[in-house]
Amino acid sequence: MTGVTVKDVLGSLGLGILVILVAVSIFAPQIAPYDPHDTYKPMEHPSSEHLLGTNDVGNDILSEVIYGTRVSLFIAFTVSITAIVIGTALGLIAGYSGGVLGFLIMRIVDIFLTIPRLVLIIVIAAFMPRSIWTIIVVFIIFGWVMTARIVRSEVLTLRSQYYVESARMLGGSDLYILWRHILPNVIPLVVVQFIMEASHVIIAEAGLSFLGLGDPVARSWGTTFHYAFECPNIITSDVWMWWMLPPGLCIVATVLGFTFVGYALEERLNPKLKTVVGMGV
Amino acid sequence: MHYISKLTYYLVIILIILSINFFLPRAMPGDPLAYVLGENPDMPTRMTEEEREMRLAEYGLDKPLLEQYLNYMVGLSRGDLGCSIYYNTPVMDEILVRLKWTLLLTGTSTVIYMLLGIFLGAESAWARGKKKDTGSLITILTVSSFPTFFLGTLLAIFFAANLDLFPLGGARIIGASYANPFEKALDILHHLVLPAATLIIAHIGGTYLLMRNSMLSVLGADYILSARAKGLSERYIMNRHAIKNALLPVVTMAALTVQFMIIGTIFVEKVFAYPGVGNLLYDSVLRRDYPLLQGIFLFIAISVVIANFIADMTYLWLDPRVRDE
Amino acid sequence: MKKQKTVITLVFAALICSAACMAFSVTALAEEDNVAATDGDRIVRSVGGEVGTSDWRYPAPFTFYPRGPGYVRMSMLFDTLTWKDANGVVPALANGWRVSDDGKTWTFYLNKDARWHDGEQFTADDVKFTFDYMKDYEGEFTWFEAIDYVDNVEIVDDYTVIVSLNEPMASFLVDIAGNMPILPEHIWSSVSDPTKFTGDDAVIGTGPMKLVEYNSAEGFYHYEANYDYYNGKLIVDEFITMGVSNAAASLKNGDVDEATFWGSAVDAVNEFVDDDDFEIITGPSFWVLQIIFNCDADKGYPTNNVTFRRAIAYGIDREEIVEQKLHGGGVAANTGILHPDAIWYNPDCEGYAYNVAEANAILDSLGFTEKVDGIRQYPSGAERSGDLKFVLYTTGKYLREGELIQAQLEKIGIKIELTPSDWTTIDSYLRDAEFDMVISGHGGIANPQIMRIPDWPASTYQSEEYTSTFAEQEVTLDFDDRKELVNQLQEMVAEDLPVYTLYHPYIWCVYNPDVLDTWFYTRDGICIGIPIELNKLIFLARYGDANENGKINMQDVTVIERMIMELDEPTDMADANKDETINMLDVTCVELTILGRAPIRCE
């Protein structure tokens, strides 16, 4: 019994974290004490005016991190939603219609899965102008693959199920069958996949920004961390506590939120599914 | 038959990777010459039209695309990855001198995190549902949520900067004179601890969960039940039967995790200024040394493909069910 | 089935073994020859130069990375004819020198004790060979291009050479004689592809240090003392320049003994102020950050109007940028580009102190009167219309300065669209004059030669007066005359504002004096203006108390003076005295130089 409870606790905990973070990003202008681009005296220690001090150009760090929630979550959700939609569509096509198109899609999937994704992303990002759209596009290009593959194999199983067969025999159109019978069964998988992808994007985007390839204007947590890391006295003084720890812990909290929710959902929705959690970066 | 089709498939993938590498700089906005010559914002240079054309010719960038492509392929077949802008030396040389450090770091970490992951995963599954299982599961899920660079920085702050137990970075004391090789190995090991620990903590989650899942399904299998019925000791069953049988997916995954390991290494080497290929990748991004960047990408991508190929082959050889699928 | 599992176990075991073997073999591979240091040796570890980069390529004359930190790593091994210390030019391979009245003939008296690292004697042949070699391989030596000035080199005897120039060159003593590494003829005469020449032979010079190991992967240079050094007694046995992940932390941990900090790293430097274990010296970086305007007559509207540029100059608060970005670790720039600490600095340039009212008045007078949401509008009939808006390009490095400027200019009704880009792209915009404004920085602003167009990024600036003044100063030998011309150049820049300079960062050297305490900053920078503290003279005993009040004490002057006086060819000197009137003046001149009065003048 304890196992089930723990899972529920973790799931709700994760959900709680995510809800808070989403709320923070939506209400960033109301929550943040300052505009993250306003400048004050640089390198201030925490005080009642600046709860987390100021950074090297005098931006309020707390406000920067709060607005960073917006940037990081925006990238994560935009990428994973788009990637999931594309992946599901391609997976459905590949699984349901099979044939040359299906074969082609699956070959592309295999190739994408074999190429080390983040290394190629780093290389592409180095060639492109630094902006959050660059990051979003590059992540989408590589993000749909896993979903397509999982959806396809599920469709292959479903297609041979008796109710799908009978629906077809009764003359249901392909589109109707896909929509009515297959998609609803694929949705749980897709939801889990969405969570995995979002958590992966959070951590990968942070990594990319840490390497100095993030958007320097719309500062995500990773970018804030990057600037903190570059600060020459970051570890010889206490500065890291208020400049490095907050964005770092935000990344951890988000990933943990996704992981817990994913973990709780996963076995509930599909006990057979074994996704490897925490292998993002 | 299967072997041959697998081989063809991997060759095609390599060809695709090579082509991506070729077309990437040419498809990007901006001056292709800039990608060969690099940039130096601190020493701006002006080129006249003639100089430009001369340079274009020098790098063969004035030729038709197809001819450039062929030249590129011919060069690659000789192991020629081009010349680094910054170092002005063959890209391959720069990679090779750093490779030993990266291999040392990844090799050590892989061995430890695999063993530890298998051990903890097996223990956890064995104690399924108990406090021990839940505790280690939550702990491992939590530490796995740390980005590698964050984890590394925290370890550096605590164990190097504050406690001064380990060096802040580097692979060994530079300019040290050692009394004997043992002392030197110790020094290298001393420098290896924090980067390796970071990689191990960051990667243990995957193996742990896989082993735990695999073990759980094995523990429900008939032969384990019959072993229990025979009255064999729990420890004996676990060691003798369960672990062995649960290992198959983990072994297969080992090769597939190579790419995650390499990516983790980039961050760890950056944080600890460890002189490996990952740090070189970071530097080449910073210096916009495109030929070097591409060379490293190619090197990593092909290593990963080869690792996958070996994994696939092993899997085929080991598991007849896959062969007959 | 059971057999199968055994196989898996075996495979797994093999995997582990192979990985372990790999690890061990690699450890063995890492085995390299080290110089065994004996106890009591003084080993100095330095993170000198630039933070973040420690590898400046192989330190041979044709392979080092052609920027300051690369050059100094080579200069440890190779001496030049002259060199500089905290107060100006000092002798190196040349004990003394003199120049003819027309400034075209330079005679160098060489040091007779100098030997190459391999034991061979250094002679005038090597000097002539080097000049000829540099001319032959001019394109390959990317560090400088001035060798064209040299016509030929004549050997008078084993220790005297005469260098004839095509035209007078004011900066010859520093820019060529104090810059060109002298190569050993017996090695380089057979080298036909110098840029590929590396290895033990390629690093045989006459310098105070010999190369033990250069490691590109780990980014370090390991030198050992050349105890036979002709130029004085060495106090350092081994010297290492290396990279670390965090310079301040490595200093505190004792991993390194000295490190360089720039600009905003003042925060890190401040942590050492109260630390008795460390000492700090501050230097000028000879580096400037500036806004480049598009002055192109056709494409540059409205920045091609000098009055408009002045409005922007008044509208930018440089002090705020220094405070916000550098945290006080620098000074607001001299609008005439050259650094306030440089001998060539013109203090009378227009400064454009921050003045919003003035900026607004100018913009109003230019017709940008109408405002929408606080942003000025182009007057009707102008080349552009709508918001007075500019694209400001910068590399990621100076984005934060860009943000500050953006906010400042908005106060005078100018909208800035900040666009981070890579330098290659920006460079192509500069080349084609397809830009409004660019933020960019460069070093070397102790040396007037940096103001040459188009090396200097203000390539859209067209002024015949500027070009001719620049050309004239290049051939003007008289210090005061040349200074006057250089002053005019600076005034022109300040007046016409092809670029608007923002700030000069400071540079610091934080060091552990117990290990070495001879660190100093070179007058107008090492060689042609390298601002960092890695001057090879720190290894010499006579610089032992160089840091007391930042000057070399008089005893040192006497040493150098004595060296110059003790020229080994008294007859030669006597002869020189007869037909030219400058022999003794020479000594005085160098002496003056040492005293810091006139570093480059010698006539």
| Distance (Å, whole) CA C182 – CA C202 | 12
Q: Flag whether pLDDT at C578 surpasses 80.
A: no
Question: Is the residue at C313 inside a domain?
Answer: yes
Q: Is the residue at C10 inside a domain?
A: no
Under an 8 A CB cutoff, do C404 and A235 touch? no
pLDDT band per the 50, 70, 90 thresholds, residue A205: very high
Question: Structure tokens of C393?
Answer: 């390009």
Of the candidate ranges A153-157, C5-9, C326-330, C473-477, the one whose mean pLDDT is the lowest: C5-9
Q: How much is the mean pLDDT over chain C?
A: 82
Distance from CA of A215 to the nearest CA of B (A): 15
Q: Where are the alpha helices (DSSP H) in B176-240?
A: 181-219, 222-229, 234-237
CA–CA distance, B117 with B209 (Å, rounded to integer): 8
Q: Give the strand pairing for C43-47 and C238-241.
A: parallel
**Residue whose pair of structure tokens reads 């198959």 in the numeric block:** B248
Q: Do the domain assignments include residue C330?
A: yes
* Dihedral, CA of residue A77, residue A79, residue A84 and residue A89, to nearest 10: 130
Across C474-490, average pLDDT: 90
| Separation CA C514–CA B132 (nearest Å) | 54
Closest residue on chain A to C265 (Cα) = A232
Q: Do the domain assignments include residue B324?
A: no
At residue C574, the pLDDT reads: 36
Q: Taking CB atoms and an 8 Å limit, are C245 and B86 in contact across chains? A: no
For the record, the structure tokens of C318 come out as: 């440089």
Reply yes or no on whether the pLDDT at C584 is more than 50. Answer: no
Q: Which residues contact C601 (CB under 8 A, 6 or more apart)?
A: C478, C479, C589, C592, C593
C268–A235 CB contact, under 8 Å:
no
ipTM: 0.88
Q: What is the pLDDT of residue A69?
A: 95
Contact B242, B235 (CB under 8 A): no
Residue C484, Cβ neighbours under 10 Å: how many? 14
Q: Is the pLDDT of residue C571 over 60?
A: no
Chain C, residues 302-331, CB within 8 A of chain B, namely: none
A119 assigned to some structural domain: yes
Question: In angstroms, what separates the C-alpha of B131 from chain A's closest C-alpha?
Answer: 9
Both tokens assigned to C34: 């080290």
Nearest CA in chain B to C218: B275
Structure tokens belonging to residue C192: 């036909």
| From A255-264, B29-38, C323-332, C586-595, the region with the lowest mean pLDDT | C586-595
User: A72-86, B217-231, C117-131: which has the minimum mean pLDDT?
Assistant: B217-231
Chain C residues in contact with B156 (beta carbon < 8 A): 245
Kindly report the CA angle at B172 between B168 and B178, in degrees rounded to 5? 135
pLDDT band at C541 (very low <50, low <70, confident <90, very high): confident
User: Is the pLDDT higher at A181 or at C387?
Assistant: C387
- Residue C479: give the domain boundaries: 288-507
Distance CA C283, CA B52 (A): 39
d(CA C21, CA C27): 10
Q: Could you tell me how many CB contacts below 8 A there are between chain B and chain C?
A: 178
Which tens digit of pLDDT belongs to each residue from B28-60?
766 666 665 554 444 445 456 666 677 777 777
Q: Which amino acid is at B305?
A: V
**Which pLDDT belongs to residue B64?**
80
Pairs of CB atoms within 8 A across A/B: 158
Q: Which residue ranges of chain B lie beneath pLDDT 50?
A: 39-44, 46, 324-325
A45 and chain C in contact, CB less than 8 A: no
B128–A3 C-beta distance less than 8 A: yes
Contact: B161, C242; criterion CB under 8 Å: no
Q: Output the DSSP codes for B247-272.
A: HHHHHHHHHHTHHHHHHHHHHHHHHT
Would you say residue A254 has pLDDT above 90? yes
How many angstroms away from the CA of C409 is the closest CA of chain A?
15
pLDDT at B31: 62
A271 touches chain C (CB under 8 A): no
Mean pLDDT (whole number) for C155-178: 91
Place of tokens 């290389």: A123
* CATH number, residue C443: 3.10.105.10
pLDDT of C82 reads 94
pLDDT at C14: 52
pLDDT of residue C194: 92
Residue with tokens 């676990």: B238
C-alpha distances (whole Å) from C256 to each of A101, B175, C239, C411, C535 are 62, 11, 11, 47, 18
**Region A108-124 average pLDDT:** 85
CATH number of the domain bearing residue B102: 1.10.3720.10
A136 CA to chain C: closest CA distance, Å?
18
Average pLDDT estimate for C270-276: 91
pLDDT value at position C594? 38
Q: Does B110 touch chain A (CB under 8 A)?
A: no
Average of per-residue pLDDT values in chain A = 86
Q: What phi and psi values does residue C161 have, to the nearest 5 degrees? A: -130, 150
Which residues in B lie closer than 8 A to residue A116 (C-beta atoms)? 259, 262-263, 300-301, 304
- The reply to whether residue A216 touches residue C399, judged by beta carbons under 8 angstroms, is yes
**CB within 8 Å: A232 and C51:** yes
pLDDT at C70 over 60: yes
Bond prior to C302 in cis (omega within 30° of 0): yes
Is residue B169 one of the residues assigned to a domain? yes
Residue B112 lies in domain: 94-276
Alpha-carbon distance values, B316 to A65, B218, B247, B319, C91 (Å): 49, 21, 15, 6, 74
Rounded CA gap, C190 and B145, in Å? 60
How large is the average pLDDT for residues C391-399? 86
Q: Would you state the pLDDT for residue B318?
A: 64
Q: Which CA distances in Å does B141 have to A22, A263, B204?
A: 22, 10, 10
Contact C97, C82 (CB under 8 A): yes
3-state secondary structure of B31: coil
Question: In Å, what is the CA distance from C169 to each residue of A76, C80, C98, C476?
Answer: 62, 18, 14, 7
Q: Determine what percent of chain C is predicted with pLDDT higher than 90.
A: 48
Q: Answer whether A115 touches C (CB < 8 Å).
A: no
Pick from B252, B200, B111: which is nearest to C13 by CA?
B111
As beta bridge partners, residue C239 has C44, C223
pLDDT at position C180: 94
What pLDDT is recorded for position C209? Answer: 96
At C187-230, the pLDDT tens digits run: 999 999 998 899 999 999 999 999 999 998 888 999 999 999 99
Phi-psi region of B273 (alpha: psi -120 to 50; beta: other; left: phi over 0): left
Say what the pLDDT of residue C145 is. 72
Per-residue pLDDT reduced to its tens digit, C545-564: 544 444 333 333 333 343 34
What digits encode the pLDDT tens for the residues B79-99? 788 888 788 888 998 999 999
Q: Which of B28, B2, B107, B9 is nearest to B288 (CA)?
A: B28
What is the β-pairing status of strands C499-511 and C279-284? antiparallel
The answer to whether position A39 is within a domain reads no
CA of C160: how far to CAs of C99, C174, C535, C602, in Å?
A: 13, 19, 26, 18
**Cα-Cα-Cα-Cα dihedral sign, residues A86, A91, A94, A97:** negative
Give the H/E segment covering residue C511. strand C499-511
For C420, the 3-state DSSP assignment is strand
The answer, for C513 touching chain B at a CB cutoff of 8 Å, is no
Of the listed ranges A142-151, B160-169, B270-279, C4-13, the one predicted with least confidence: C4-13
Indicate whether C8 pLDDT > 80. Answer: no
Highest mean pLDDT among A171-175, B76-80, C69-73: C69-73
pLDDT in tens, C241-264: 999 989 999 999 899 999 999 988
Q: What is the pLDDT of residue C546?
A: 45
Sequence-ordered list of residues with C-beta below 8 angstroms from that of B236, at least 6 positions apart, any chain? none
B63 conformational bin, left if phi > 0, alpha if psi -120 to 50, beta if neither: beta
Determine the residue of chain B that is closest to C30 in CA distance: B100
Nearest residue in B to C3, CA atom: B318
Which residues in chain A are closer than 8 Å to C421, comparing Cβ atoms?
A: 129
Q: Is the pLDDT of residue A128 over 60?
A: yes
Chains touching chain B, criterion 3+ CB pairs below 8 Å: A, C
Q: What is the DSSP string of A133-173?
A: HHHHHHHHHHHSHHHHHHHHHHHHHHHTSHHHHHHHHTT--
Nearest to B181 among C12, C31, C43 (CB): C31
CA atoms within 13 A on the CB side of B92: 8
**Contact A232/C247, CB-based, under 8 Å?**
yes
Find chain A residues with C-beta within 8 A of B12's C-beta. 111
Q: Which residues pair with C394 in a beta bridge?
A: C420, C439
Which of C57, C244, C443 lies at the smallest CB-CB distance from B169? C244
CA distance C493 to C509: 32
Query: What are the angstrom distances between the C-alpha of C578 and each of C106, C147, C525, C561?
Result: 17, 31, 36, 22
Alpha carbon distance C425, A128 (integer Å)? 11
Provide the domain count of chain C: 1
Residue C154 has which token pair?
A: 């004549």
Q: Is the pLDDT of residue C33 over 70?
A: no
pLDDT at residue C280 tops 80: yes
Closest CA to C128 of C110, C143, C112, C144: C110
Residues C116-124 have a mean pLDDT of 95
CATH number at residue A127: 1.10.3720.10
d(CA C230, CA C93): 9
Between β-strands C437-442 and C288-293, what pairing exists: parallel, antiparallel or unpaired? antiparallel
**Per mean pLDDT, which range of A117-126, A160-169, C491-500 is the poorest?**
A160-169
Residue type, C203: V
Domain assignment present for residue C127? The answer is: no
> What's the rounded mean pLDDT across residues A220-234?
92
Residue C572 falls inside a structural domain: no
**The two structure tokens encoding residue B79:** 């192991």
Report whether pLDDT(C589) > 70. Answer: no
Is the sign of the CA dihedral C67, C73, C78, C81 positive or negative?
Answer: positive
Residue type, C44: V
Interatomic CA distance for residues C603 and C595, integer angstroms? 17
C596 within 8 A of C520, measured Cβ to Cβ = no
Please report the number of interchain residue pairs, chain A to chain C, with beta-carbon separation below 8 angstroms.
61
User: Rounded to a whole number, what is the distance in Å from the CA of B136 to chain C's nearest CA?
Assistant: 24
Instruction: Tell me which residue of B286, B124, B108, B317 sits closest to B219, measured CA to CA.
Output: B124
Q: Of A62-76, C323-337, C393-407, where does the model show the most confidence?
A: A62-76
Interface of B with A in 124-143 (CB under 8 A): 128-131, 134, 138, 140-142
Name residue C540's beta-bridge partners.
C234
Q: How many domains does chain A have?
A: 1
Is the Cβ of C417 closer than 8 Å to some Cβ of chain A?
Answer: no
C96 neighbors C590 (Cβ within 8 angstroms): yes
User: Is C421 touching A (CB cutoff 8 A)?
Assistant: yes
Which residues 55-74 of A have a C-beta within 8 angstroms of C? 56-58
Q: What is the DSSP secondary-structure string of C306-374?
A: HHHHHHHHHH--HHHHHHHHHTTSEEEPPTTSS-TTSTT--TTS------HHHHHHHHHHTT---EETT
Chain A hits for B134, CB-CB cut-off 8 Å, are: 2-3, 6
pLDDT at A148 over 80: yes
Q: Which residue has the tokens 């230097």?
A: C283
| Secondary structure (3-state) at C109 | strand
- Hey, are the CB atoms on A277 and B264 less than 8 Å from each other? no
Higher-scoring residue by pLDDT: A47, A113: A47
- Angle of the B2-27 helix axis to the B65-77 helix axis, nearest 10: 130
Tell me the helices (H) and strands (E) count for chain A, helix number first: 13, 0
What is the C-alpha to C-alpha distance for residues B113 and B132, in angstroms, rounded to an integer? 19
Alpha helix stretches (DSSP H) within C239-317: 247-253, 266-273, 306-315
Structural domain count, chain B? 1
H or E, element range at B117: helix B91-126
